[in-house]
Structure 1
Amino acid sequence: MRVVCVQLGVEGGAVEDNVAAAIEATREAAANGADLVVLPELFDVGYFAFESYARAAQGLAGDRLGRFAAVAGEEDVNVLAGTVVEDLAASAAAGVDVPADEGLANTAVLFDRSGDRRLVYRKRHLFGYGSEETTRMVPGEREPVTEIEGVRVGVTTCYDLRFPEQFRRMVEAGVDCVLVPSAWPYPRVEHWRTLGRARAIENLAYVAAVNGSGAFGGDALCGRTTVYDPWGTTLASAGEEPTTVTAEVDPDRVAAVREEFPALRDRR
């Protein structure tokens, strides 16, 4: 499976411009042979644009996510719209199972080649260090895994990288590749590099850590989108500027590495 990670240049609060740029990048990646396009955390509004969250929020049946469903179908490509600000009340009104009847969630949605929703992940670990996410968002409760293109994929988001038990539960559900849409800021660049690689090594799985690019007042995202293989080897990586990162994900490679180095079987 060819995965294209879009390190999008995100403008705080500029929802329509951000969405248009994400759609353009998705179409371009599909034209270049992508099987799966992955977008970064809160690419629609910008992570640090806290005051814009409520204005930007829509339910899962809203027109914004509908545009990505349409692009997935039109371009014959899987798309992780990861993540957007979800209005939980609007989703509930549309019949979607939600963790709370009201509030906002930091939500990733995976659309398949037909434009159908295959996975919905709401960020479990909300970030409170110099952030308003914990006061403005409702945490998710589930860690779904699904299969696309013969690959078992799961999703975590940014701060989740610091909680290895979440990744291990997905491995127990059969995951081959974990997608990690993020808005990881400076100065914690070494944490970003180390944690993504560590999650790949300890779980013998692919990790595609997809970061944004751009500045928000005194905060700036560090970019450095990277895809790691099941040994923790870097397959492809970027600097801090907007770009795309492409890598091949092979479930047979995961099985072979786990057979060669059976650390998961040696747990006690």
Structure 2
Amino acid sequence: MKISAIQFAIASGNVEKNYQITEQYIRAAASQHADIIVLSEMWNTSFYPENVKDLADNDGKRTRAFLSCLAREYKVNIVGGSVANRRGAHVYNTTYIVDREGQIVSAYDKVHLFTPGHEDEVFAAGNQPAVFELDGIKMASVTCYDLRFCEWVRMAALAEAQILFVPAAWPQPRLEHWQILNRARAIENQFFVIAVNSCGKAGSYQFCGHSMIIDPWGAVLSQGDGREQIITADADMSVIQKIRERINVFRDRRPDLYDLR
């Protein structure tokens, strides 16, 4: 399975420009015959301008139509990063997943809001996981700060996800955390992790890029740097069965002893 991750500098607050750039990158990745194209967090507004509530997509209508149209045109699956999404009186940080036929197969509202960045003061939190199928394979998606909550990610693995997508807007001072945490989640859950970060600046944030495609052994199959780019790798799904035959952590778990309160 060929997976392409799109990393670019999102224009803070410039929604029209961001849709244009995103379309160009999706078309470029699709022309390289990707099976799945993955975007980063908050690609419609960046993370996040003061007027994000005014800029947010109304019930995700524009984003859903935009991603569905491109998915149908190129017969490609799209994990749509996330967008600022206004539903009623609240704004959510929402990921839409679209299959090759342009159908929305999942929508995920970011569950863990980044309180150091006051995200919780602007956005409402989701409360449901996103586990879905693309091309007959179970997958899951979380968003940025969710990566730090290993219990939340483990739930995806227990739901038999074989690939985890992590759209993010991860800042420069914590690049090493980004790299270590993504590899750790891949190793401990024995699945592929597709971690897609933005680059460039938004306000006081300098995003560190370094999008990564990681296999279940923790090996980095492809990694970007700090520039705009598309990174691509082939995910050999048979690796998952092989690693779980050699080191079956799921068989050896002792959930009867785990109290996470």
- Both proteins in one fold, TM over 0.5: yes
Distance 1:249 1:135 in 2: 38
Give the AA of the match of 1:114.
Answer: E
Give the AA of the match of 1:158.
Answer: C
User: 2:81 maps to which residue?
Assistant: 82
State the shift of 1:241 in Å. 0.6
State the shift of 1:251 in Å. 2.5
Distance 2:54 2:244 in 1: 44
State the shift of 1:255 in Å. 1.5
Give the AA of the match of 1:27.
Answer: R
Deviation string, structure 1 residues 25-74 (Cα, Å, up to 9, x no partner): 111111111011000000110013242343233213x1233111101101
User: 1:64 maps to which residue?
Assistant: 63
Distance 2:107 2:175 in 1: 28
User: 2:119 maps to which residue?
Assistant: 133
Aligned-residue identity in percent: 34
> 3-state DSSP class of the match of 1:221?
strand
Residue 258 of structure 2 corresponds to residue 259 of structure 1: no
Distance 1:63 1:124 in 2: 22
State the shift of 1:235 in Å. 0.5
User: 1:110 maps to which residue?
Assistant: 97
> 3-state DSSP class of the match of 1:165?
helix
Distance 1:2 1:54 in 2: 37
User: 1:48 maps to which residue?
Assistant: 48
State the shift of 1:19 in Å. 1.1
2:130/2:142 contact within 8 Å kept? no
Distance 1:86 1:214 in 2: 22
Distance 2:91 2:56 in 1: 10
1:3/1:37 contact within 8 Å kept? yes
Q: 2:188 aligns with which of 202, 218, 221?
A: 202
Distance 1:104 1:7 in 2: 24
Distance 2:130 2:195 in 1: 18
Structure 1 runs, 4 residues or longer, greater than 6 Å off: none
Stretch of structure 1 that moved more, 250-259 or 186-195: 250-259
Distance 1:49 1:257 in 2: 43
Within a 5 Å distance, the mapping from 1:1-268 to structure 2 comes to: 1-60=1-60, 62-89=61-88, 102-129=89-116, 131-268=117-254
1:106/1:123 contact within 8 Å kept? yes
Give the AA of the match of 2:171.
Answer: P
Mark the runs of 5 or more structure 1 residues left unpaired by the alignment.
Answer: 90-101
> 3-state DSSP class of the match of 1:195?
helix
State the shift of 1:254 in Å. 1.0
2:56/2:91 contact within 8 Å kept? no
TM-score by length of 2: 0.94
Distance 1:72 1:28 in 2: 13
Distance 1:121 1:186 in 2: 25
Distance 1:58 1:241 in 2: 31
State the shift of 1:9 in Å. 1.6
TM-score by length of 1: 0.92
User: 1:97 maps to which residue?
Assistant: none
Distance 1:236 1:187 in 2: 22
CA RMSD of aligned residues (A): 1.1
2:98/2:105 contact within 8 Å kept? yes
Distance 1:126 1:266 in 2: 32
2:143/2:166 contact within 8 Å kept? yes
